[in-house]
Structure 1
Amino acid sequence: MVAPYLCPNCKTNRSRFNLIEQNAKPVKMDPRTGDLLEEYSNEMLNPFHVPYKGPAIKVQCGVCGLIEDERSFIKRAESNKLQ
C-alpha cells in the first residue's frame, strides 16, 4: 500500500522504516523433537491445517523498533497529517 506512515509508538518518525515481507510456510512438526515431518503447499493443506490469513507486510519503525501491521502506521499518519 502506498501511503504515508507515522510510528504509533514514538510518534515522530515519518521516514525510516523496515518493511518485513511475511511468507508463511505450512508445515507439520514432531511435537516431541520439533523435527519437520511434512511441508504442505497452500493449495494442498490437510483439513486440520488452517491457512495463514495474516498480513503480507509488517512494518518496523527505524527509530524505536516497534513492529506492527502496516495499517497501524497508516492510520496514525492519517490522524496526524503534516501541514
Structure 2
Amino acid sequence: MASPYLCPSCKTNKTRFNIIEQKPKSVKLDPQSGEIMEEFAADQAGPLHLPYRGPDKKIQCGVCGLIENEEAFVKRAQYMNKQS
C-alpha cells in the first residue's frame, strides 16, 4: 500500500524522492585480493553465513539527499498530518 512521505531532515519535501531497491548477493571473497571466489543462492550460503536481514528498499530525499529506511519518511508524514 502506498503511503505519503515527508523528509525527516529538511521537513519540506513531500514529492521528490529516489527509491533505492536493495538486492543482496551472498558471496565468498578472496581475503588477499577481494575478488569474488564463490556466489551463493540465498538458501545455500551455509551455516557460517548469515542471510541479509535489512530492508528491501531505502529512500533518498530528492532535495537534501538524506538516505533512510522508508519507515522514517512515512512516520514523519504521519506525524505532520496529526499536527495539522
Sequence identity of aligned pairs in percent?
54
Q: Spell out the pairing of 1:1-83 with structure 2 (5 A cutoff).
A: 1-81=1-81, 83=84
Q: Distance in 2 between matches of 1:25 and 1:35?
A: 14
Instruction: Tell me the C-alpha RMSD between the 2 structures.
Output: 1.2
Q: Distance in 2 between matches of 1:45 and 1:27?
A: 8
- How far apart are 1:81 and its partner, in Å? 1.2
User: Post-superposition, which runs of at least 4 consecutive aligned residues in structure 1 deviate over 4 A?
Assistant: none
Listed one character per residue, the Cα deviations across residues 47-69 of structure 1 (whole Å, up to 9, x for unaligned) are: 10000010001000000000000
List runs of 5+ in structure 1 lacking aligned partners: none
Listed one character per residue, the Cα deviations across residues 15-73 of structure 1 (whole Å, up to 9, x for unaligned) are: 00000000000000011110111000001111100000100010000000000000000
